[in-house]
Amino acid sequence: MSVVAAIMVPHPPILLPEVGRGEEEKIAATQQDYERAAALAAELRPDTVVISSPHAVMYGDYFHISPGKGARGDMGRFRAPQLRFRVDYDESFVSELCRRAKQAGFPAGTLGERGPELDHGTMIPLYYIDRQYTDYRLVRLGLSGLPLADHYRLGRMIAQTAEALGRRVLFVGSGDLSHKLLPEGPYGYAPEGPAYDERLMDVMGRAAFDELLDFEESFCEKAAECGHRSFCILAGALDGKAVETERLSHQGTFGVGYGICTYRVTGEDPERRFLEKWEERRRRALEEQRRREDPWVRLARAQVEAWVRGRRWIDLPRDLPPEMLRERAGVFVSLHKEGRLRGCIGTIGPTRDCVAEEIRENAISAASRDPRFPPVEPGELEALEISVDVLSAPEEIASKAELDVKRYGVIVSKGRKRGLLLPDLDGVDTVDEQIAIALRKAGLSERETDYRLERFEVLRHG
């Protein structure tokens, strides 16, 4: 046995009549299709229900799996304390999943419990499932800040655990879509909101799960989505399976997207091993990108690789462009992995004899001394995207009116405190956002007004 079906469902408390008190009628299609999705449990009679919830315990670098014999919860925080839930956990499933994660060196387990109560991202799916079927044990998972591909890998590990134990498993990917669909909604509007919902429902409606991994982090953040990582775990749980897919409904009545899809496993399909396909596609793209790298980036990459593999400084290549050996400037070296920042260190002004030496020094720092990240490991090198920014000399400006978030970087300073932000960064769309981030980096309050402003331009390589 293994994963026999999966459902993608939202978790708005207002959907429950005891909470909505009539407002749920405005999303009747979601309510009706939720019941249809939950009916798969009654039809397939799983031994175990696995739920991934954005509102369970979450860590930046670790997947939390709820430990113990079981848990309780209620909807008291949503004015419905009479709605109570009690679940028994599938302890042997959790134990085997944790064993496999440890054996693979994968960051998942039962450490770090912060309150065992059930969260609403778990209870709302159970509300609909329990009305039709209760003869199961539960496994509850949190999400993480790790890359989307790692969420997919966790889903594959869940399927492998089910097969090893002979469990019939229903996987529930709990998560809302964008929270920025309407100006009058509780979270406001962003153009990325409707774009995210349309794209996500298209991908999930076709069960084209490799495309889930192509969503840029900055796009997801601007859309203020909730469940994307949950859906990636769902996709991994169905890796290599032929599925009968049904796209049921999508509503955004209250400014938050609610989407429902169901996936019934009908057999094996090696063509649907999407992680390998995505990794191969990404590998080819990275190889092509490397072929296009200029001497600035090639030098940074060579120094990163030499330092990570052997703590070794490289000699400057003899064929470097003359300006790299002649000119002096501040330089930032940025590392990205799977679309996420992995390290970024730089100097506002020159500290070395030439730009090439500045690149070498900051490449090592970006890979090993950025306090926000652990040092880069050798196994990560092939996946790194590297860029080098060479800074012009900063010039003082009178006001933010002289800034352009795409063209200029900004430096804010007060006394000995100083913060810098590069120009044209993903997710930074306005001058106000740019200044606010620079203030935080300087250790200054965003309400601060008495500070010095400087701007600079960069020549970006990579």
What is the DSSP annotation of 435-452?
Answer: HHHHHHHTT--TT--S-E
- The pLDDT tens digits of the residues spanning 9-57 come to 999 999 999 999 999 999 999 999 999 999 999 999 999 999 999 999 9
Note whether 399 and 373 are same-domain residues: no
Does some domain include residue 282?
no
Note whether 369 and 323 are same-domain residues: yes
Note whether 238 and 366 are same-domain residues: no
What CATH number corresponds to the domain at position 230?
Answer: 3.40.830.10
Note whether 37 and 144 are same-domain residues: yes
Q: Domain boundary residue among 277, 311, 336?
A: 277
DSSP 430: S
Per-residue pLDDT, 218 = 85
CA distance linking residue 169 with residue 174, whole number of Å? 15
Q: Assess whether pLDDT exceeds 80 at residue 1.
A: no
Note whether 194 and 218 are same-domain residues: yes
pTM: 0.86
Q: Domain boundary residue among 222, 251, 277?
A: 277
Note whether 181 and 268 are same-domain residues: yes
Per-residue pLDDT, 217 = 87
Q: Domain boundary residue among 367, 387, 407?
A: 387
Note whether 454 and 417 are same-domain residues: yes
Q: For residue 449, what pLDDT band results from cuts at 50, 70 and 90?
A: confident
How many domains are there within the chain?
A: 3
Note whether 201 and 135 are same-domain residues: yes
C-alpha dist (Å) from residue 375 to 141, 259, 372, 449: 28, 39, 10, 36
Q: Assess whether pLDDT exceeds 90 at residue 427.
A: no
Mean pLDDT of the chain: 96
List of residues 6+ apart from 169 with CB closer than 8 A:
1, 2, 3, 4, 46, 47, 48, 49, 50, 158, 159, 162, 237
The range of the structural domain enclosing residue 354 comes to 293-387
CA distance linking residue 144 with residue 112, whole number of Å? 13
Per-residue pLDDT, 52 = 98
- The pLDDT tens digits of the residues spanning 320-371 come to 999 999 999 999 999 999 878 999 999 999 999 999 999 999 999 999 999 9
Note whether 209 and 329 are same-domain residues: no
Q: For residue 407, what pLDDT band results from cuts at 50, 70 and 90?
A: very high
What CATH number corresponds to the domain at position 399?
Answer: 3.30.1490.150
- The pLDDT tens digits of the residues spanning 304-315 come to 999 999 999 999
Note whether 222 and 262 are same-domain residues: yes
Residue 161, H or E segment:
helix 148-165
Per-residue pLDDT, 270 = 95
Q: Give the ranges where 62-105 is alpha helix by DSSP (H).
A: 91-104
CA distance linking residue 461 with residue 301, whole number of Å? 12
Using the CB atoms, write b or e for 211-245: b if 16+ within 10 Å.
Answer: bbbebebbbbebbbbbbbbbbbbbbbbbbbbebee
Note whether 418 and 301 are same-domain residues: no
| 11 touches 174 (CB < 8 A) | yes
Does some domain include residue 350?
yes
Note whether 200 and 338 are same-domain residues: no
